[in-house]
Homo-oligomer: A and B are copies of this chain.
Amino acid sequence: MSSSSSSRTLKIGIIGFGPFGQFLSKTMVKQGHTITATSRSDHSHLSTDLGVSFYRDMDEFFEADNDVIMLCNSILSLSQVVKSMPFHLLKHPTLFVDVLSVKEHPKQLLLEVLPQESDLLCTHPMFGPESGKDGWKDLNFMYDRVRIRDEAVCSSFLQIFGSEGCKMLEMTCEEHDKMAARSQFLTHTIGRALSEMNIESTPIDTKTFQTLVNLKESTMRDSFDLFSGLFIHNKFAQQELKNLEAALDKVKQKLLDRTNKELDPSVSNNR
């Protein structure tokens, strides 16, 4: 297969065959790519059902001659997983892709350890098994072409998402992390707080409250590992948590000020 063809089928190896790796593999298999996987736990039964070859052994997985090796493990396990990767077994330059929900951390770590001749594409599909269950059309896909020499393999990989209708957004890993801390991390934090409160649908829900119940439920479908990864390995997250606390304090203070004004009859209540 010529490397100059605009889109070719790829041999893709997935490291970390959890919920998100499995989810991505379904569309890739459907598109005709050849998928292998390896993971900490044994997912071989499920892999067979999905049309994916599963290797329990990382060495055998590395020897399997993949065009692309895609990291789909948890954010928190990245440094451990990277340490266990037998790069010397690679038979040729390989495109490494990660899909972690934080981006500066894998970029830096992978630039340190990848063989010089291997390419690196850092990506974040801004959707998951729930929001992407009816297809990926109009869902956002962020990527940073950190070190790309084999354009053919890289563009064939990006085409997997482009051809499903994703909005393809090229930006730096740092730009991503800044925005994601204010959007995705914030969303998860609120979803988890609502879960700590045990909020549930009531007979008198407003439409907007129903969206909060849905938010809680979709947040809790993702692992706590994922959520804590968003916090620990995105340097902007801590500040956004502080901003959320400060904002809630401000709202509370405005309510208390208004309450005092209402209670003090010497102050006018007119707007």
Q: What residues of chain A have their CB less than 8 Å away from a CB belonging to chain B?
A: 76-77, 80, 124, 126-127, 131, 139-140, 142, 169, 171, 176, 179-180, 182-184, 186-187, 189-194, 196-197, 199, 202-209, 211-212, 214-215, 218-219, 224-225, 227-228, 231-232, 241, 243-248, 250-252, 254-255, 258-259, 262, 269, 271
24 contacts across the A-B interface (CB closer than 8 A): A76-B262, A131-B208, A140-B204, A140-B205, A171-B203, A179-B202, A186-B209, A187-B208, A190-B212, A192-B251, A193-B251, A196-B247, A197-B244, A208-B214, A208-B218, A208-B219, A211-B214, A211-B215, A225-B271, A228-B258, A228-B262, A231-B259, A232-B255, A232-B259
Told that A139-B207, A183-B204 touch, could you supply 10 new A-B pairs with CB distance under 8 A? A140-B204, A182-B197, A183-B202, A186-B197, A187-B208, A190-B190, A212-B215, A224-B254, A231-B259, A244-B248
Chain A binding surface, main DSSP class: helix
Residues of B near A179 (CB, < 8 A) are 202-204
As for how many copies of this chain the complex holds, the number is 2
Q: Which of B180, B184, B204 is the one whose CB lies under 8 Å from A180? A: B204
Contact A127 B206 (CB under 8 A): yes
Whether B203 and A169, one on each chain, are in contact in the complex, defined by CB atoms closer than 8 angstroms, is yes
Bound together, the chains give a CA A57 to CA B15 distance in angstroms of 75
**A210 to B: closest C-beta gap in Å:** 9
Docked-complex contact A255 and B243, CB < 8 angstroms: no
Closest-by-CB residue of B relative to A188 is B208
A247 CB contact (under 8 Å) in B197, B225, B251: B197
Chain B contacts for A80, CB-based, 8 A: 269
Partner of A197, one of B243, B254, B269: B243
Docked CA distance A51–B228 (Å):
57
Q: Which residues of B contact A131 (CB under 8 A)?
A: 206-208
Chain B residues with CB below 8 A from A193, complex form: 244, 247-248, 250-251
